[in-house]
Structure 1
Amino acid sequence: MEVQEIEKILENKNIPITPMRQLVLSEFLKTNHSISLAELEEILETADRSTIYRTLKTFEKKGLIHSIQENNTTQYLFCHDHCDEDNHHDYHLHFFCTECKNTVCLENINFQNVDFPKDYLIKELKFVANGVCKTCLLTMQ
């Protein structure tokens, strides 16, 4: 992806542009599955762990990525749901493949119309399914 497109995405989310933020966003745009802090550290070998972590937290706060806990590790996924600083709209299924260990968003399976009792304030929902993804399933046949 071109630098101008990455800068536009950051500007649209009111995130100040820095070289590290450009690099991290570029990695999210290259993949269709989750990325952990440790994976980003491996990819961005010369980057400082705390700088990557602060970048992830900024992205999450601004609605550019969302996080999900799996196997005691925080995984981050790019938000395609028009999330913003005030609201994350990631009420969709997250699918964890037990073979390749990747998590993907299955946005076509959403839970936006779940009726909760009126006397409950829901601040966050996490929906995760475990199984075998279509790529791994093909290799098993």
Structure 2
Amino acid sequence: MRMLVLDVFLQTSKAMSLADLEEKLAPSDRSTLYRTLKTFEKKGLIHGIQEHHTTQYLRCSDKCNEKVHHDAHLHFYCNLCKQTTCLEDIDIPHLHLSRDYIVKELKFLATGICKLCHPSE
């Protein structure tokens, strides 16, 4: 099952939910898929983002591993096609927090119309 899930992520650059994976890999066990997603997230293969009360998963960059995730980049959700993509080429300013705060995770989400859905001029 892990190889099948990995293959799905390698073939797409779009975000996928647990329900999306269930549909692509039917018939499959929801619990096994969920555990696979959590294992992949822990190992730095994918990262999850919350959008509209659903976790969407995207493939991590090659720089990620089980100790450090380098996913502090912009995620873009298209209101038309309902797809989320990673925009890693957008510069995100470094946050300078006091020592009283320990950041474990940052999530950047923008919404609008993606380049595929945007009407050409």
TM-score by length of 1: 0.81
Shift of 1:138: 3.2
Q: Is residue 106 from structure 1 mapped to residue 87 from structure 2 by the alignment?
A: yes
The answer for the alignment partner of 1:14 in structure 2 is none
Distance in 2 separating the partners of 1:62 and 1:112: 26
Shift of 1:112: 6.1
The Cα of 1:121 is off from its aligned counterpart by 0.9
- Relative contact order, CA 8 A, sep 6+: which one is greater? 2
- Contact preservation (8 Å) 1:81, 1:89: no
Question: Once superposed, what is the RMSD of the aligned Cα atoms?
Answer: 1.5
Aligned with 1:136: secondary structure?
A: coil
2 CA distance for matches of 1:29 and 1:61? 17
> Which of 71, 76, 80 is the matching residue for 2:61?
80
**Given residue 59 of structure 1, which amino acid in structure 2 is its aligned partner?**
F
Q: 1:119 and 2:95 equivalent?
A: no
Indicate which of 12, 17, 25 corresponds to 1:44.
25
Q: Is the CA contact (8 Å cut-off) linking 1:91 and 1:110 kept in structure 2?
A: no
Q: CA deviation at 1:73?
A: 0.4
Aligned to 1:32: 13
1:40-97 superposed Cα distances (whole Å, 9 cap, x missing partner): 0000012111111110000000000000000000000000151111111101000000
1:95 maps onto 2:83 in alignment: no
TM-score (norm 2): 0.93
Question: Displacement of 1:107 after TM fit?
Answer: 0.4
CA distance in 2, matches of 1:138, 1:22: 38
- Map 1:1-12 to 2 at 5 A: none
Structure number with the higher helix fraction is 1
Does 2:49 correspond to 1:68? Answer: yes
Amino acid paired to 1:80: S
Aligned counterparts of 2:24 and 2:93: Cα–Cα separation in 1:
35
Matched length: 121
Percent of residue pairs bearing the same amino acid type: 60
2:37 corresponds in structure 1 to 56
